């Protein structure tokens, strides 16, 4: 069975991140490119690390899986889930070697026992077994200790803490902290009348080291009292030694596996010890072991042999099958990669929705701000008003493009509110009215400027021409055409001369008052050739007696190169 697809899920998460940056990100293209590169590099690094971890796991677990498959070929197919699977750890040269010999797997009626010599391989083996059992991890970890082989307290404590850390690391693969069974063996001289059973406690709750020896002592007392007279002496002696063994183990082993004030969290979480037991096996006790020193210190009992080394050919250690009876099998915890992938997809959708809502809020705020800015500018500030109108037009064009081609994903997902602004934006644009253009022609009554038949400005005529003077000053870029007109009274020649003279007088006064050169002005007399009204009435003749001042563009502004554009109205006063 293939393992959990961490690499595929990592690639899926990276693809979702890149899609979010491409379609939903509110940041600039430069930032999106930088973040996308970082996300891709991070995903590639994670995939490389996961691949290396997977290869290390395969190297560590392949011997065990091969041994399992070879051992279980003849067994029913459901043996993997129905039989407890126990990982057995401890000193490779001590209790493990005496319990397994050279084998990696031991199958008994009670369980499948799998030997793990190296703490660094425990997590890999646990993960491989979880896949091998279709989601059901190891049911427990059995820690075997040969009391007669423990001679150095520092070495024993360091080994216990290494295995404690390894058990904590192994809990991450199956997703739970496996219960731990501590099994302690004591060598006993050959010739005892019966085989020694296990004395201990097993259950679902973690054990308390302080009360554990007392509970085991009660069972040892029952064991000694139930013996026949022939066996009573040997049983009582064995019970006393096992009681001392339980007390030594509770004091020397369990604190290192559980909570400790000395190491804090340097060795990982505490092991969950739910089973503990002691037993005696055939062999020669060691007088120099930590257990022998504890017995000599606390009791008057001495080992039966003082040879100093246990018998290398002693009986094989029995596995603690009785101690795991109270440990419930672990339930199946199937990996759900599709559910996890869907959860990441939902998270990406929520991130995209949040980005869409934020960008829509920014869009609405910008459009409303541009509209408010345009409305706040009065018609007299036309240049600023035109700038504000351009911003409104840009907003209208953007929203109109969304309406015609579709709203982009970064603004979609149900949060788009721009369509409601199209109508007010179009209304603002259509309602713009440019300011009234300045008058290009001013008409002055000749009688208010001149006496009858005269071309000399009359006193008080200045007031009449002040309005024309202000307009000329306001438009210095334009040239000024001064045209004189008369009524039909008199001869045409006289009327023409009079109109020209009056136009020249007005021109001279305006040039002097405005500080402009005479070449800025043009003078034209039309006499009675361009009447505005009929000359047969006094009112008509009064309307025809006039001086017209007209502002026209300077023809020199329309040059292209060194040549004046011909035919332009600004270059002609006719």
Last residue of a domain, one of 71, 97, 131: 71
Question: What CATH number does residue 544 fall under?
Answer: 3.30.1330.60
100 and 62 part of one domain: no
Q: Is position 150 within any domain? A: yes
How many CB atoms are closer than 10 A to CB 260? 16
Q: What is the pLDDT of residue 571?
A: 46
Which SS3 state, helix, strand or coil, does residue 548 take?
A: strand
Structural domain that includes position 539: 441-571
Domain identity same for 61 and 135: no
Rg (CA), the chain: 54
Q: At what angle do helices 6-23 and 337-376 cross, to 10 degrees?
A: 10
Q: What is the pTM of this model?
A: 0.59
Query: Which residues of the chain register pLDDT less than 70?
Result: 1-3, 72-81, 190-194, 259-268, 300-315, 334-335, 436-439, 555-574
State the number of CA atoms in the 13 A half-sphere of 83 facing the CB.
Answer: 20
- Same domain, residue pair 387 and 347: yes
Does any domain span residue 474?
A: yes
HEC assignment per residue over 296-340: HHHCCCCCCCCCCCCCCCCCCCCCCCHHHCCCCCCCCCCCCHHHH
Residue 171 shares a structural domain with residue 247: yes
- Same domain membership, residue 189 and residue 309: yes
Residue 29 sits in the same domain as residue 89: no
Together in a domain, 378 and 495: no
Which residues, in sequence order, are bridge partners of residue 186? 280
Residue 334 lies in a domain: no
- Residue 332 inside a domain? The answer is no
Q: How many domains does the chain have?
A: 4
My answer on whether 414 and 460 are in the same domain is no
Given 256, 291, 324, which residue is the final one in a domain?
A: 324
Burial category of 147 from C-beta neighbours within 10 Å (exposed 0-12, middle 13-18, buried 19 and up): buried
Residue with tokens 């705020």: 365
Tokens of 311: 């018998």
Are residue 18 and residue 87 in the same domain, yes or no?
Answer: no
Q: Which of 80, 544, 542 has the alpha carbon at shortest distance from 329?
A: 80
Look at residue 336 and tell me if it is in a domain: no
CB 321 within 8 A of CB 348: no
Residues ≥6 apart with Cβ < 8 Å to 294: 244, 247, 248, 252
Residue 64 structure tokens: 């065990």
Q: Are residues 222 and 164 in the same domain?
A: yes
pLDDT in the model for residue 313: 43
| Of residues 220, 195, 76, 94, the one with CA closest to residue 145 | 94
For 320, the token pair is: 């603690």
Q: How high is the pLDDT of residue 381?
A: 87
Alpha helices in 410-489 (DSSP H): 422-430, 461-474
- Position 421 scores a pLDDT of 93
Whether residue 475 lies inside any domain: the answer is: yes
pLDDT at residue number 297:
82
- Final residue belonging to a domain, choices 291, 324, 357: 324
Burial of 528 (0-12, 13-18, 19+ CB in 10 A): buried
**pLDDT tens column, 145-192:** 999 999 999 999 999 999 999 998 888 877 788 999 999 999 887 555
Query: What's the pLDDT score for residue 56?
Result: 80
Identify whether residues 222 and 251 lie together within a single domain: yes
Residue 333, domain member (yes or no) = no
* List of long-range contacts for 403-408, beta carbons under 8 Å, 24+ apart: 408/23
Whether residues 384 and 514 share a domain: the answer is no
Tell me, yes or no, whether 331 lies in a domain: no
Confidence (pLDDT) at 559:
41
> What string of DSSP letters covers 96-156?
HHHHHTT-SEEE-SS-EEEE---GGGHHHHHHHHHHHTTT---SEEEEEEEGGG---HHHH
């Amino acid at each position: 069975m293939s393992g959990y697809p961490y690499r595929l899920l990592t690639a899926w998460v990276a693809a979702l991140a890149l899609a979010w940056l491409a379609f939903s990100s509110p940041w600039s293209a430069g930032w999106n490119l930088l973040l996308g590169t970082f996300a891709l590099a991070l995903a590639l690094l994670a995939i490389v690390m996961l691949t290396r971890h997977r290869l290390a796991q395969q190297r560590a677990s392949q011997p065990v899986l091969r041994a399992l498959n070879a051992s279980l070929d003849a067994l029913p197919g459901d043996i993997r889930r129905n039989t407890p699977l126990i990982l057995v750890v401890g000193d490779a040269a001590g209790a493990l070697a005496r319990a397994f010999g050279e084998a990696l797997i031991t199958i008994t009626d009670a369980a499948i026992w799998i030997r793990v010599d190296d703490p660094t391989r425990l997590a890999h083996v646990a993960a491989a077994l979880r896949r091998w059992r279709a989601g059901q991890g190891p049911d427990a970890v059995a820690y075997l200790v040969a009391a007669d082989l423990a001679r150095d307290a520092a070495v024993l404590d360091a080994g216990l803490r290494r295995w404690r850390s390894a058990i904590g690391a192994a809990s991450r693969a199956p997703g739970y902290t496996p219960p731990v069974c501590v099994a302690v063996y004591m060598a006993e001289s050959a010739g005892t009348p019966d085989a020694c059973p296990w004395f201990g406690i097993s259950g679902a709750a973690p054990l308390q080291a302080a009360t554990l020896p007392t509970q085991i002592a009660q069972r040892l007392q029952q064991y000694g009292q139930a013996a026949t007279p022939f066996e009573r002496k040997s049983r009582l002696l064995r019970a006393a030694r096992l009681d001392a063994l339980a007390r030594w183990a509770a004091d020397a082993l369990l604190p290192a596996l559980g909570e400790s004030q000395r190491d804090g969290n340097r060795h990982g979480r505490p092991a969950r010890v739910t089973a503990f037991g002691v037993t005696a096996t055939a062999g020669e006790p060691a007088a120099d072991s930590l257990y022998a020193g504890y017995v000599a210190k606390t009791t008057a009992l001495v080992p039966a042999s003082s040879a100093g080394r246990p018998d290398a050919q002693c009986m094989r250690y029995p596995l603690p099958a009785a101690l795991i009876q109270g440990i419930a099998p672990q339930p199946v915890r199937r990996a759900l990669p599709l559910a996890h992938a869907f959860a990441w997809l939902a998270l990406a959708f929520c991130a995209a929705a949040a980005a869409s809502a934020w960008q829509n809020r920014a869009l609405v705020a910008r459009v409303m701000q541009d509209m408010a800015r345009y409305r706040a500018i009065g018609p007299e500030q036309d240049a600023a008003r035109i700038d504000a109108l351009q911003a409104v037009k840009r907003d209208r064009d953007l929203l109109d493009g969304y309406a015609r081609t579709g709203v982009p994903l970064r603004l979609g997902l149900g949060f788009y509110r721009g369509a409601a602004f199209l109508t007010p934006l179009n209304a603002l644009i259509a309602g713009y009215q440019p300011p009234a253009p300045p008058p290009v022609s001013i008409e002055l009554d000749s009688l208010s400027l001149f006496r009858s038949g005269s071309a000399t400005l009359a006193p008080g005529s200045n007031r009449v021409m002040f309005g024309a003077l202000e307009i000329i000053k306001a438009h210095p870029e334009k040239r000024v055409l001064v045209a004189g007109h008369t009524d039909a009274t008199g001869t045409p020649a006289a009327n023409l001369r009079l109109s020209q003279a009056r136009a020249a007088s007005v021109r001279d006064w305006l040039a002097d008052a405005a500080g402009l050169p005479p070449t800025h002005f043009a003078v034209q007399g039309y006499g009675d050739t361009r009447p505005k009204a009929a000359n047969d009435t006094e009112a008509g003749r009064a309307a025809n007696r006039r001086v017209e001042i007209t502002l026209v563009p300077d023809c020199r502004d329309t040059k292209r190169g060194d040549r004046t554009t011909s035919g332009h109205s600004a270059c002609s006063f006719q």
